[in-house]
Structure 1
Amino acid sequence: MSHNHCHDDHHDHDHSSSEEMGIQYNLYQKIDKDNLQCLNESIEGSGKTVFKPWDKRLDRTNFVESDADEELLFNIPFTGNVKLKGIRIASEDTEYHPNKLRLFKNRPNMTFDDVTMDPDQVFELQRDSESLLEYSPKVVTFSSVSHLTMHFPSNFGADTTKIYYIGLRGEWTPGHRHGVTICTYEARPNLDDHKLKHLDSVSRHIN
């Protein structure tokens, strides 16, 4: 079943496409890294290091390993709205590789207590040490994502899970929510000012 959801780029493209892939897999630049959370990471801050440039996808210097058990949970806020089109994951070709990915859209600050709810999409992962496989999120569901939660509940049998690279491909647009909030806020005092002036003129007229 999983072959319907992913494909092996190794056969679809020649080596000259690597630069193009680097351009496509640039959503790591649009992540609000200061507010990115990785729960159950064995080393604090290591979860952030797996979101890196395409040409660093095979780099084994920085990686995240789970701590108490095999679960990892990433809360990923973006600096705007994202239309998510592709996900790639690199780990070891061993039991430490995660075997499932559960995606949740626009649910900030999720914890392990929250992951019992139904995810927006689930992928059965295959072992992939070179980011050859791409998993395709449902376009309709993941067309306006301001926050993405990635839950890796299990692996291929190890006590802990390791991830070296998570690549996200898609389109980014600036978020407009903040601007709308400011406009609404500014409109209200103008109305209030107008009413107050009106009341003042009435009271002065009576006096």
Structure 2
Amino acid sequence: MSSHCHDEHDHGHGGHSHEGHDHSDDITPALQYSLYQHISFDDITTLNEASSGSGKAIVKKTWDERMNEQPELESDADEQLLMHIPFTGQVKLHSIILRTSNSDSAPKTLKVFINRDDLDFSTASDLQPTQEFQLSQTSEIQDIGVKRALFGKVQNLTLFVEDNYGEDVSRICYLGFKGDWMQLGKAPTNILYEAAANPSDHKVKGTSANQMGSNIGQ
């Protein structure tokens, strides 16, 4: 029973909940930078999930569904989880948003790798991650900011839950991402026009410079 995602949710809706939080500060920014529509859901894989497809299911939850108890990702043989999440383009990641619980099943150490589709538990344990986080034991939403300089060209993420707070299995209720997205192989139209116009300009300037150089040399 301690694994339920709603352990603190009902308490969180006490007298201070709506008075202490402004919806414009809470919901709008998360939606503004949400990468939800740029996740390649069909290509998400999760190793050591107790129920097939549950890893994909928690990523498919919308922001409005973030406090829902189900679906829930639960690990199988032990407390470790390895999730691979591809995007439909290139992402500048700002933060990872997740919700676990205030129980011992809450993930503790999260290692994040970018642009690696070849990791298993052994390699994820041995390799240096792009960034490592110590997660909180809480059922509140955790918005975990990344070092943006390290996450500027992300095509896919691998999340490795290495351990938890002591339970045999780990559980995650919600997983989302915030950042900026750019379609691979595309550029803004104004850049394309500028690139098309530039060659003749550069040619004229280059010729002029070469002529000047020739005159100086003579």
Q: TM-score range by the shorter chain?
A: 0.7 to 0.9
Classify the secondary structure of the residue corresponding to 1:34: helix
The answer for the alignment partner of 1:138 in structure 2 is 147
- For the pair 1:28 / 2:36, whether they are aligned, the reply is yes
- Indicate how the Cα distance of structure 1 residues 90 and 25 shifts in structure 2: closer, same or farther if over 3 A, else same: farther
- Indicate how the Cα distance of structure 1 residues 55 and 69 shifts in structure 2: closer, same or farther if over 3 A, else same: same
- For the pair 1:117 / 2:127, whether they are aligned, the reply is yes
- Indicate how the Cα distance of structure 1 residues 101 and 27 shifts in structure 2: closer, same or farther if over 3 A, else same: same
- Indicate how the Cα distance of structure 1 residues 12 and 113 shifts in structure 2: closer, same or farther if over 3 A, else same: farther
Taking the aligned partners of 2:150 and 2:20, their CA distance within structure 1 comes to: 26
Letter in 2 for 1:24: Q
- Indicate how the Cα distance of structure 1 residues 160 and 71 shifts in structure 2: closer, same or farther if over 3 A, else same: same
- For the pair 1:175 / 2:184, whether they are aligned, the reply is yes
Q: Which runs of 4+ in 1 moved over 4 A?
A: 10-13
Q: How far apart are residue 25 of structure 1 and its match?
A: 5.3
Taking the aligned partners of 1:86 and 1:45, their CA distance within structure 2 comes to: 24
Taking the aligned partners of 2:33 and 2:75, their CA distance within structure 1 comes to: 25
Superposed, 1:62-81 pairs within 5 Å as 62-81=71-90
Gaps of 5+ in 2: 1-16, 187-218
String of CA shifts for 1:72-106, please: whole Å, max 9, x gaps. 01111110001000112111110000011101011
Q: With the length of structure 1 as denominator, give the TM-score of the two structures.
A: 0.75
Taking the aligned partners of 1:21 and 1:162, their CA distance within structure 2 comes to: 26
- For the pair 1:128 / 2:104, whether they are aligned, the reply is no
**Which residue of 87, 94, 114 maps to 2:96?**
87
Does the aligned pair in 2 maintain the 1:32–1:77 contact within 8 Å?
Answer: yes
User: Could you say what the CA RMSD is over the residues aligned between the two structures, in angstroms?
Assistant: 2.0
- The sequence identity of aligned pairs, in percent, is 38
The answer for the alignment partner of 1:15 in structure 2 is 23
**Which residue of 98, 104, 109 maps to 2:107?**
98
Does the aligned pair in 1 maintain the 2:38–2:87 contact within 8 Å?
Answer: yes
Classify the secondary structure of the residue corresponding to 1:77: strand
- For the pair 1:49 / 2:33, whether they are aligned, the reply is no
Does the aligned pair in 2 maintain the 1:25–1:54 contact within 8 Å?
Answer: no
Letter in 1 for 2:110: L
Q: How many equivalent residue pairs?
A: 167
Classify the secondary structure of the residue corresponding to 2:163: coil
